[in-house]
Amino acid sequence: MISSVIQDRRVSELSNAEISRYSRHLLLPEIGIEGQARIRAAKVLIVGTGGLGAPMALYLAAAGVGTLGIVDFDTVEASNLQRQIIHGTRDIDRPKVASAADRIKNLNPDVKLVTYNTMLNSSNALQILKDYDIVADGTDNYQTRYLVNDAAVLLGIPNVYGSIFQFEGQASVFHAKHGPCYRCLFPSPPPPGLVPSCGEGGVMGVLPGIVGTIQACETLKLIVGGGDTLIGRLLLFDAWRMRFHEVKLEKEPNCPICGQNPSIHELIDYEEFCGLKKDKGEEPIDVLTARELKTRIDRGDRLQIIDIREPHERAIAPFPGSKYIPLGQMERRVHELDPSADTVFLCKIGQRSVFAIRALRQAGYKGKMYNLLDGVNSWARDVDRSLPQY
């Protein structure tokens, strides 16, 4: 149990209107008038207004958090609406921060809302985070998770963490003053491409609602003070089996940013740290656009088109005339490819097929290989609109 993160801040009395709005909080002795006043005085930054950020923003605004910052550079897409409940159909193609701002203001006009329609990066993170008591991480990529963690450690504020994939979620509170940070748990990121994104692997729509709500709950406990927070604990949730379990976390003495002798004293290049920058010595991968592939097919060029998606994906949007070899079987089935023909690899959005080409190069395959740029979704968008984009 830790005290409130804003215990030293002067808080003013609640108005009659606020007492009416937040009366169900006031009836809880663990919160009461003083706790609600702290909630009103608190400043929370939410990074990302997607699956996790959506429920966090809604519940924290409803709870009366005084200043709510939201950071996102993306726009609303139709595929977001299955889980990102802060946005609606009419918001498609709008900036997410604008859509989220409208919903938050309608829910609670008393919240001071600060929007950042930008990508959080090493050059702006400290400047943005420094004005907040807590940062809540609703991101979906490793480079931003490490960035948020490091910025939070350097500024001495708690980082309320959540992540989701398919049916599984995680949540914790990383606060270096009182326990481990994200780097203590994950010293280094996985190799690029090893862990697919939700855009490639899928996610059950209600899962981010559950995990994001847990993050909102942890944020409120940090503000009010009291209760058992997730500092030093990693909560794991399996939605398909409806099971929770918990892992105890320890502070890593040799952690490079919060350990006894830290080596990181400023924000670094997180794209490079996560291995996402192109190796200048690496052979480039040739690409074909969907329209270029259509032209070559119509011309009768000698091609072999290899679909590396999983069976359930192929059922969503089958690609005519393709041969099916899942990514995990690629190296052991290399003998099925004809090196004398040009080979085009395709997946959903053109990312996994890059790894298939690299794996075949390392295995010694000498045939000409192409990646279908932006994958099957580009074919559905630019060539065959009878196919769905997913």
Question: Which residues have a catalytic role annotated?
Answer: 198, 347
- Under 8 Å between Cβ of 370 and 302: no
Which residues, 6 or more positions from 358, have their beta carbon under 8 angstroms from its beta carbon?
285
Could you tell me what percentage of the chain is helix, strand and coil, using 3-state DSSP and rounding each to the nearest 5?
35, 15, 45
CB 64 within 8 A of CB 111: yes
Q: At what angle do helices 53-63 and 207-224 cross, to 10 degrees?
A: 40
Of 56, 57, 93, give the one whose Cα is nearest residue 78: 93
Residue in the block written with tokens 């939605």:
239
Does residue 107 sit in helix, strand or coil? helix
In the three-class reduction of DSSP (H, G, I as helix; E, B as strand; rest coil), residue 339 is classed as coil
Please, how many CA atoms are within 13 Å of residue 358, restricted to the half-sphere of its CB? 12
Q: How many of the other CB atoms lie within 10 Å of CB of 95?
A: 17
Sheet order of strands, 342-346 included = 287-288, 369-372, 342-346, 303-307, 323-324
CB–CB of 72/119 below 8 Å? Answer: no
Cβ-based neighbours of 148, under 8 Å, separated by 6 or more: 47, 120, 125, 129, 135, 137, 139, 159, 182
Alpha carbons 240 and 109: distance in angstroms, whole number? 37
